[in-house]
């Protein structure tokens, strides 16, 4: 019996993507129950940023910071990526550092969720925990000391002052929102942490249409439970933050965000993080005001991550 000619059997073409190519192009979510009271001409949407490979919106900024540093020659094999983070940007650095072969050292507030710290350590990151009472500001001060002491060893990514942070959102997030809403977006609402998401996305949307209203969100007091967000009046202000960009600033109470997190999980099926819930509180407030004024609106916000890194928080069982 003659054997088949193996030359006739070829593998079909295989299409793969790199880790960086998976970042961005996140879905735009709609809602049914929490927005049911709004009139038909007022809509609220949110970008599901947990679909990025590192699980958060911070993948965008971290990827661009690393990319720009490689282009400039500030980051090269043998250097260690160094920064302070409340968690999500650090996870993105860890993921990308592992993929590209860079070591990563991070200063993280001791108040960061145990899940975030565990993820960083799973990636093999050198984690330094700072005083939880000092929050992200304490981590910033600690990392600056090391960056100044050993500049030849570390690439200090400096997410709070690096324009590549907001540049990532100018190049991607703002473009995606404009395309996904077919240019109908009227309001953009986002929380303030590093401020990169608001700065970059807001600038891009205003370039498309100067009438788009940019609304910033922050906690209503220095002592809050909105992990990842800053109370700007009492915090170290990021160098990339321009308070003149936002047309309006809203303050969010922690309790309202906790309540919204439960509602989104139990009424919409979206298990989101604390800052995402706070963003929804703000977006709904804007939408309700437009409805009360009899004005149409397309309000878009950002859900930075899902709740998987916050499930130890006690408010879920309330």
Which residues are tagged catalytic?
58, 275
| Contact call for residues 178 and 204 (beta carbons, < 8 A) | yes
Give the C-alpha separation, 72 to 276, whole Å.
Answer: 34
- Number of alpha carbons in the 13 Å side-chain half-sphere of residue 22: 15
Query: Do the Cβ atoms of 307 and 273 come closer than 8 Å?
Result: yes
Are 191 and 167 in contact by the 8 Å Cβ rule? The answer is no
Q: How many other C-beta atoms are found inside a 10 Å radius of the C-beta of residue 73?
A: 7
Backbone torsions φ then ψ of 245, nearest 5 degrees: -70, -45
User: Is residue 157 classed as helix, strand or coil in its secondary structure?
Assistant: coil
217 near 282, Cβ under 8 Å?
yes
Scan for tokens 């995606």, then name that residue.
176
Angle between the N-to-C axes of helices 173-180 and 196-208, in degrees from 0 to 180, rounded to the nearest 10: 50
Q: Where are the beta strands (DSSP E) in the chain?
A: 28-29, 42-48, 80-84, 103-109, 126-130, 154-156, 187-191, 213-219, 248-252, 297-303
**What does the block give as tokens for 236?**
């170290």
Cα distance between residue 263 and residue 269, in whole Å? 9
Dihedrals φ, ψ of 80, to 5°? Answer: -105, 130
């Amino acid at each position: 019996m003659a054997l088949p000619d193996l030359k006739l059997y070829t593998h079909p073409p295989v299409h793969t993507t790199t880790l960086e190519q998976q970042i961005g192009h996140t879905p735009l979510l709609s809602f049914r129950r929490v927005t049911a009271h709004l009139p038909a001409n007022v809509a609220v949407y949110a970008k599901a940023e947990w679909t990025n490979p590192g699980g958060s919106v911070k993948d965008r900024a971290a990827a661009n910071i690393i990319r720009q540093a490689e282009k400039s020659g500030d980051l090269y094999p043998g250097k260690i990526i160094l920064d302070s983070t409340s968690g999500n940007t650090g996870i993105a650095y860890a993921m990308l550092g592992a993929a590209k072969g860079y070591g990563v050292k991070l200063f993280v507030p001791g108040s960061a969720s145990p899940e975030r710290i565990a993820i960083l350590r799973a990636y093999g990151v050198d984690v330094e925990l700072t005083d939880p009472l000092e929050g992200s500001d304490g981590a910033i001060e600690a990392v600056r000391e090391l960056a100044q002491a050993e500049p030849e060893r570390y690439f200090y990514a400096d997410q709070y002052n690096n324009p590549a942070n907001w540049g990532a959102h100018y190049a991607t997030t703002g473009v995606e929102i404009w395309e996904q809403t077919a240019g109908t977006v009227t309001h953009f609402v986002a929380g303030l942490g590093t401020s990169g998401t608001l700065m970059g996305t807001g600038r891009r949307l205003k370039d498309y249409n100067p009438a788009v209203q940019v609304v910033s969100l922050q906690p209503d007091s220095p002592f809050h439970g909105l992990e990842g967000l800053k109370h700007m009046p009492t915090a170290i202000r990021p160098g990339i933050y321009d308070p003149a960009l936002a047309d309006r600033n809203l303050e969010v109470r922690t309790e309202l965000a906790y309540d919204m997190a439960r509602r989104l999980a139990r009424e919409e099926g979206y298990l989101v993080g604390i800052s995402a819930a706070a963003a929804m509180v703000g977006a709904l407030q804007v939408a309700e005001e437009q409805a009360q004024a009899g004005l149409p609106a397309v309000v878009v916000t950002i859900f930075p991550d899902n709740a998987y890194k916050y499930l130890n928080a006690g408010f879920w069982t309330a």
